[in-house]
Structure 1
């Protein structure tokens, strides 16, 4: 199995495809490309016309889009354990993952993932409203599922995979969050796979100006 990703410092969608494999101990070979380069598009064109990462190659199968990759890995390698066992919780988990996949545009546009930086921005009212929504969502889920573990649905799940880039974003831009969310962020940042990604991001030197939002702190 191979996974094509981009810069670990900046590529939030790559993180999702990578994290589902690492966190659930599915063996794979990593192919990392530099964003916005000729090589990036040339290599991706050999596998998909979409021109975006991540791309998963499993023998003769190619899967693109991070949510499709997560669903495929869950079905083919995790026996469904990527989602909560309880049907109702599984439905909620799928709902919030879909929301992250297709929404929260203010956070995504104003706070590009930038793991190795500490930066200051002036968030719009839309971004602040989305932060408050995420804070309430995470706090509620943690309160409901704390007896089963320290992640959103107790045990680590695809919901945590999908919100992992927001954890890095909130860290980078020093977003004000509740104590409950801060505890959840600490749990996520301490996860061995998250630590591995973060240390690799810190070691990168390439700078993509369009993702250096705000001012350095």
Structure 2
């Protein structure tokens, strides 16, 4: 019994260290990009020994991919939830689209680090993210979910492009365009106003 308890503690400690490394890596990759971030910086930020990232992820490249895949897993969970909402048939048409937009908006604004990492990827023509199987699959799944419900009657591809454009800009340009205007994207009142604005714009552009 004591041995089992010790094993559980070791597993929990390992998982906690792994999460700390992923969290630190995500924050640093978002702030500095892949090339300018060192494994030592990640270890210092995570409070772990130098060898642990290699033990868990094999290399800096492996750690970076793990960070991207964790973000894709969050997105896949959201797509699964949206599919369940559509299949439940409890809400339809404009109300369903409103729910979808609000859920996507909350996911975007609550995880700005992924958007910042994606911007670094864009500067390098998506050298990792553009070829990540999970990224490709979640986008395909997202399109399929939007196309599954005929009550939506939207151009799914254009809808996603419009949504990303409306939500991406404020997160990416927090310090370039919004700060000089005195706008704080983390201000709850701004988030409420902006989400309402995004919802209304996208609903008006739909054929519902």
Shared fold (TM-score, shorter chain, > 0.5): no
Please state which structure has a larger fraction of its residues in strand: 1
Please state which structure has a larger fraction of its residues in helix: 2
Which structure carries more relative contact order (alpha carbon 8 Å, separation 6+)?
1
TM-score, normalised to structure 1, is 0.31
TM-score, normalised to structure 2, is 0.32
